[in-house]
Amino acid sequence: LDKSQTGAVYDAIGREYGIVGQVFNLFSKLRGGMQNNVGLELRPAS
């Protein structure tokens, strides 16, 4: 995904996985956050 959507990826992880997702987001941001990470969109092959 485009770098501008990385924040939306973090939000989706936090919503989907609850406290585990929120802790993941916290440690991910401490390690460099949105500057060093990308979001991947997976789609089934057709």
Q: How many domains does the chain have?
A: 1
Domain assignment of residue 42, yes or no: no
Distance of CA 28 to the CA centre of its chain: 9
Torsion 6-19-43-40 (CA) sign: positive
Burial bucket for residue 2 (CB in 10 Å: 0-12, 13-18, 19+) = exposed
**Contact 41/9 with Cβ under 8 angstroms?**
no
What is the pTM (predicted TM-score) of this model?
0.69
* Greater model confidence, 18 or 2: 18
Residue 43's pLDDT is 92
Residue-range definition of the domain harbouring residue 23: 3-36
Domain assignment of residue 41, yes or no: no
Residue 39's pLDDT is 83
Average of pLDDT values for 3-18? 89
Domain assignment of residue 45, yes or no: no
Q: Read off the pLDDT of residues 11-46 as tens digits, 9 standing for 90 and up.
A: 999 999 999 999 999 998 888 877 888 888 889 998
